Structure 1
């Protein structure tokens, strides 16, 4: 059975490739998700959830609900602590993901490669989407894992085209990040996949993260015109090629499995 393994840092990170995960699950691909932390240092943005005292447990359940919406296997948690951001940064927490040795994280991931035998790995790009330290840690560990494990056929990074990154900058949601740094040129994109047919699943997945998608979230506070643009943008997902053990006969590829001998892509 063809197998895809996505590896991210926090519950809700799977939104970066939720359409692709749902798309391939519908095609019969065995889709798995590894999450390094339980998102304990997030910020509750839904006032109705302000009573929650164990945010990690809440976000763990939200991720389980998200995986169910996407039609993929339930998440595998590595057990690290969310490093947080800004005033919530866990500088003194030795279990925070930001303080972990990347080689040890790589070693902790290797048994899952041996067990699942994935054809495809998907994770963050070298800028971690928007520079979160935990995103950078998982990117580096997964990239090292691809090269040391010798098993997965391809490694992909989810990326944003510069044009989309510029729209994000205009909306204010990207926290003043330079689009030319955090976006990529069209020539960098190896796979551009239309996921409009699973958009309902992708939206249901995102809405599963109630604590992060509430009325006080950055998304909810975006101007209506940018929300509409973002929803249009979510019909497409983009990936750069991080590594391959198979020939690439055409570029860009039709999909993540293009040329691997399966009857899709």
Structure 2
């Protein structure tokens, strides 16, 4: 019997979900998959780049921004694990006992496994091994999500496929040009991007570009006029609104083709959708978690 299609994404901060895989999350939610998101922190060490917001309680503001972004994408409300943003560089919070860098990775893994047991995902999405630009919390999210995928093989709910969000060398160079995306400045594409032959899946998200843009700009503290993310040119944004790319982190079943254009391809899953309160075949009844 086919299982309901389900996907779980694991990221570190509010806004991590939008730039590299927001369109993919929206696409599968629209098709009727159950789409859940784990966020390790509430982005406590970030900066408010939108002065019009005034003096905000940053963690509370960023939590609400992520909730709004999830609503824009049509996915379930975020699941927060309750750690603190570790910051990076000269703002690294080594003395914060709740910072993700100081947390027990085994405990994080167990928390993710608990969510896996509740949501029954066939797919797990997280950062690539370099965390897009090397943020310590991104690297931790990658590590604990990968560990949870591996150990799920011994549990009742076995995640079938693990995908990493990746950027091609061409994409990274474009984001480093002109008014560059600040977090990528000075980084070598040969390290932080991937070669084309590493891309295991390229997902067409053009039908969900409006949702992705809405989700991205729901993160007002991170996309304000003082940010580089919020002031990228249309030329830089256009490819990000057309397709999203993934590498393969793990697999427990064969795929019908490679590279893939559908992360669920070949899996025995069923999509559902609700229209006017009635569930119909073809697209998924979604669970709610507090």
Structure 1 counterpart SS, 2:177:
helix
Query: Which residue of structure 1 aligns with residue 277 of structure 2?
Result: none
Query: Which residue of structure 2 aligns with residue 17 of structure 1?
Result: 21
Report Cα offsets for 1:108-129 as digits up to 9, x if no partner.
2111111111110000000001
| Residue 168 (structure 2) aligned to one of 149, 161, 167 | 161
TM-score by length of 2: 0.86
Structure 1 counterpart SS, 2:176:
helix
For structure 1, the residue ranges without an aligned partner over 5 or more in a row are: none
TM-score by length of 1: 0.94
Q: Which runs of 4+ in 1 moved over 6 A?
A: none
Structure 2 counterpart SS, 1:170:
coil
1:193 CA drift (Å): 0.9
Structure 2 counterpart SS, 1:155:
strand
1:228 CA drift (Å): 2.1
Q: How many residues align?
A: 260
Structure 2: distance between partners of 1:79 and 1:229: 34
1:221 CA drift (Å): 4.5
Structure 1 counterpart SS, 2:171:
helix
Following superposition of structure 1 onto structure 2, how do residues 1-265 of structure 1 map, counting pairs within 5 Å?
A: 1-15=4-18, 16-52=20-56, 54-150=57-153, 151-171=158-178, 172-173=180-181, 174-222=184-232, 224=233, 227-262=234-269
Over aligned residue pairs, what C-alpha RMSD do you find? 1.4
Task: Answer yes or no: is the 8 Å Cα contact 1:19–1:202 preserved in 2.
Answer: yes
Structure 2: distance between partners of 1:262 and 1:110: 21
Report Cα offsets for 1:125-157 as digits up to 9, x if no partner.
000011100000010001011010121110000
Structure number with greater CO (CA < 8 Å, separation at least 6) is: 2
Structure 1 counterpart SS, 2:245:
strand
Structure 1: distance between partners of 2:69 and 2:127: 19
Structure 2: distance between partners of 1:25 and 1:220: 25
1:106 CA drift (Å): 0.7
1:263 CA drift (Å): 6.7
1:213 CA drift (Å): 0.5
1:256 CA drift (Å): 0.6
1:86 CA drift (Å): 3.0
Structure 2 counterpart SS, 1:210:
coil
Task: Answer yes or no: is the 8 Å Cα contact 2:217–2:230 preserved in 1.
Answer: no
Report Cα offsets for 1:193-244 as digits up to 9, x if no partner.
110100000000011101111000012444x4xx423233331100001001
For structure 2, the residue ranges without an aligned partner over 5 or more in a row are: 272-290
Task: Answer yes or no: is the 8 Å Cα contact 1:19–1:201 preserved in 2.
Answer: yes
Structure 2: distance between partners of 1:259 and 1:218: 40
Task: Answer yes or no: is the 8 Å Cα contact 1:190–1:240 preserved in 2.
Answer: yes
